[in-house]
Structure 1
Amino acid sequence: MSISGELPAEGSDGEEVFINEEDIIHEITIDEEDLPDRDDDDEDGGDRMDDSEDVDDSTYIFQGHKDEVFTVACSPTDASLVASGGKDDRGFLWRIGSAEGALELTGHSDTVSTVAFSSDGKLLACGSFDGQINVWSTATHSLQGTLEGSGSGFEWLKWHPRGHLIIAGSEDCNVWMWNADHNTILNTFAGHSSTVTCGDFTPDGKLVCTGSDDATLRIWDPRSAQSRHVVRGHGYHTDGLTCLSITLDSQTVVSGSKDNSVHL
């Protein structure tokens, strides 16, 4: 192992310890020719890496897309089932290592920006900048329904943690909520003044949290679609939010922003 410069570590009594070149016990030189090479493309559209001791032979490359891939999701109930979407206006449902080929999630006319499985793994939602969300059955590979809002593109979508409700953030400044079993709109959450860039249900399913390019975080009542709290201004982000995550106890929201900061 080779160490360049000085790296701080912590001693048994808590003081900083600095490691330098004098502490090297043995240096091992790696010859690039010894590293595994990638095999040629598999016929089923995916590549497996060289089957050597240092590489897991389950490593798999899916090559169905023809342009940038923007979103991927793994099924919560089937470790081999994966969905993806990209700039080529295409979504795919595919199984790692399977020779059966991938199911193309057809019907979109613009970038597929977001995909997500329901918590029970039975449904897959595929959202696009074309203003549509298509919901597919993972068992039958059939289209269950199409969800629409105002026609503006969808940035993201999330499923309720225990049911077939979907929320999605739109370029029209709104958050939309549907019942995916009946393909019906339940609520529209209006209040943001710019694109809704991120959001989610709290893990207990009782609230919805969203972030926007307007540099605010909003907390909503999903039943009434009323905004309970707005976090903004001095001490909070000074530029648009890009991402958020909610702790498992549903008590804390972590948000990231274009202003280079993370807030809790």
Structure 2
Amino acid sequence: MANNHSLLSASLDGTIRAWDLFRYRNFKTFTTPSPRQFVSLTADQSGEVICAGTLDSFEIYVWSMKTGRLLDVLSGHQGPVHGLMFSPISAILASSSWDKTVRLWDVFESKGAVETFQHSHDVLTLAYRPDGRQIACSTLDGLINFWDPFDGLLMYTIEGRRDISGGRLMTDRRSAANTSIGKYFTTLCYSADGSYILAGGNSKYICMYDIGEQVRKSFL
């Protein structure tokens, strides 16, 4: 959170909770009129607005941090909303879903989705570059797609499936292609200067890529 004194958590139990890091207590709980299962969570730069994505209804709920009041419900996705992040330079919210799309929302204007980026596979997570001028999205086929959020254009793609599987060992009779099946990234994070991206998922490896060169630099 913006004040560095609070922690937010989302749960399948249908609640969003705010925790006081000094007093170690849950000081506010955010709920919905009907029970929902929450799988993603973010707050705007000011910490005044909280958004959470659902597993079951495919909606995004928006609350006021100060009052705890439900402000809006964003509808449009056709699958679980597993990724949410506000732009670091504006009030635009980006969401990723298993419906194979990333959507941008003007939360404060209540205009609904203002842009949709279509993918060929389920979108698992996303991240804004620190300057707000690029969005990275991880998909179920092991790709990381990089979008220009202003022009709505796909800039380039990194194939990460074989990297996350760690390649092939000498003792492994299966090919690297076979062992990479079902490998994908579920977490993305840019470096502070935006030149590298860290990606982790369903393996023991964290991969670091040079975005400009679109190549893997190291395993962690």
**Superposed displacement of residue 79, structure 1:** 2.9
Root mean square deviation of aligned Cα: 2.3
**Superposed displacement of residue 235, structure 1:** 5.8
Shift in CA distance, 98/249, structure 1 to aligned 2, threshold 3 Å: closer
Verify the 8 A CA contact 1:89 1:109 in the aligned structure 2: yes
**1:217 aligned to which of 144, 153, 169:** 144
**2:12 aligned to which of 76, 87, 90:** 87
Verify the 8 A CA contact 2:87 2:128 in the aligned structure 1: yes
Q: Partner amino acid for 2:79?
A: S
Which of the pair is proportionally richer in strand?
2
Question: TM-score if structure 2 supplies the norm length?
Answer: 0.76
**Superposed displacement of residue 152, structure 1:** 1.4
Equivalence for 1:132: 59
Question: What is the CA–CA distance in structure 2 between the aligned matches of 1:99 and 1:219, rounded to whole Å?
Answer: 39
Q: Which has the larger radius of gyration?
A: 1
**Superposed displacement of residue 163, structure 1:** 1.9
- Deviations for 1:57-98, whole angstroms, at most 9, x for unmatched residues? xxxxxxxxxxxxxxxxxx12x233332211212222344538
Identity among equivalent pairs (%):
19
Equivalence for 2:117: 189
Question: What is the CA–CA distance in structure 2 between the aligned matches of 1:101 and 1:154, rounded to whole Å?
Answer: 26
**Superposed displacement of residue 206, structure 1:** 0.4
Q: Tell me, which stretches of 5 or more residues in structure 2 are unaligned? A: 165-179, 210-220
Question: What is the CA–CA distance in structure 1 between the aligned matches of 2:66 and 2:160, rounded to whole Å?
Answer: 47
Q: Partner amino acid for 1:226?
A: L
Equivalence for 2:43: 117
Question: TM-score if structure 1 supplies the norm length?
Answer: 0.65
Question: What is the CA–CA distance in structure 2 between the aligned matches of 1:233 and 1:104, rounded to whole Å?
Answer: 37
Question: What is the CA–CA distance in structure 2 between the aligned matches of 1:92 and 1:136, rounded to whole Å?
Answer: 12
Identify the structure with bigger relative contact order (alpha carbons < 8 Å, sequence gap 6+).
Answer: 2
Equivalence for 1:254: 198
Q: How many residues align?
A: 188
